Amino acid sequence: MKGKGSAMNEKVLPFRSVLIFGGAGFIGSNWAHRLLKSTDARVHIFDNLSRRGVVHNLRWLQEHFAGSDRLQVTIGDIRDGALVERAVQKATEIYHFAAQVAVTSSVNDPRSDFEVNVGGTFNILEAARNSSRRPCVLFTSTNKVYGNMASEAIVSSRSRYSYMGGDGVSEAQPLDFHSPYGCSKGAADQYVHDYARVFDLPTVVFRMSCIAGPRQFGNEDQGWVAHFLYSALEEQPVTIYGDGRQVRDVLAVEDLMRAFEAVRESRERTAGQVYNVGGGLANAVSLLEIIEQIEQLTGRRLQYQFER
């Protein structure tokens, strides 16, 4: 991971009061479970339970840690500034995973996409800035902020496209927001980064690739690895947009958790930084290649069609 930005002069603190926006989601529930199991942190989950499967994730956490006074849950929306401010008051660490995550939804309803991704993030940043605890804020952005990188030279093979550059792109890659989703996440990304520069708020931005793993309820718009796997098991067809040779950088959620821990343990150096987070070239895979792997694992043929 490469970074840029200013550092913060604060000692690394033990886990105390952790607030997870989007804490019932795929990444949030995995992180909450890890904190509750491995640390003495008090974990506050804030989620509007709007995505498919998150109720199951929340129930799983509540059953797993039944009787514990370290797990608190607020059902709410990050667009509610007053509710966000109350939730932030006691937090010493904030993990902001809540978002509208589908490109198609952003095109169908760009206003809602903007209000959640930009307005909701702004509410969290302002609440953190005004808190006497000055909590650190880790925000999960997206590699979509780099656009389609049309200027990058590629080579094609039977099953994939590959960049000729070799090592992928760094955080110095120019930003190029595409789609309302790319614009809203990009604006939020820049707000989080700028609050470190302007207000000395300890923030970290993760520009993430495709994350996959347990408790992911993927669909056509988001969580494509899980979506393909579920479709194969349920013998449902999938639609591939393009020719299937487009490559995705896949990272296991367990490795993402370790990245969270690494950033937190080096807070003096990581505050104010931006990181590209992914599995790297060794874990890059095309859609056609993942279909082949799924078919080998399940012993079932995944039906698919192309849409150009």
Interacting residues of 137 by C-beta distance below 8 A, sequence separation 6+: 94, 95, 96, 124, 125, 128, 192, 195, 201, 202, 203, 204
Which pair of tokens denotes residue 86?
């109350």
What is the H or E stretch that residue 61 is in? helix 54-64
Tokens 């800035």 found at: 129
Ranges of beta strands (E only) in 66-124 are 71-75, 93-96
CB atoms within 10 A of CB 283: 16
Q: What is the DSSP letter of 118?
A: I
Which one of 95, 181, 191, 195 is the catalytic residue?
Answer: 181
> Is 161 marked active-site?
no
CA distances from 285 to 110, 201, 226, 244 (A): 30, 37, 14, 10
Q: What's the rounded Cα separation, in Å, for the pair 147 and 168?
A: 14
Amino acid at 239: T
Task: Describe the chain by its helix, strand, coil percentages, rounded to 5.
Answer: 40, 20, 40
Q: Is-contact 62 24, C-beta < 8 A?
A: no
Name the nearest CA neighbour of 243 among 152, 170, 154, 180.
Answer: 154
Residues acting as catalytic residues: 181
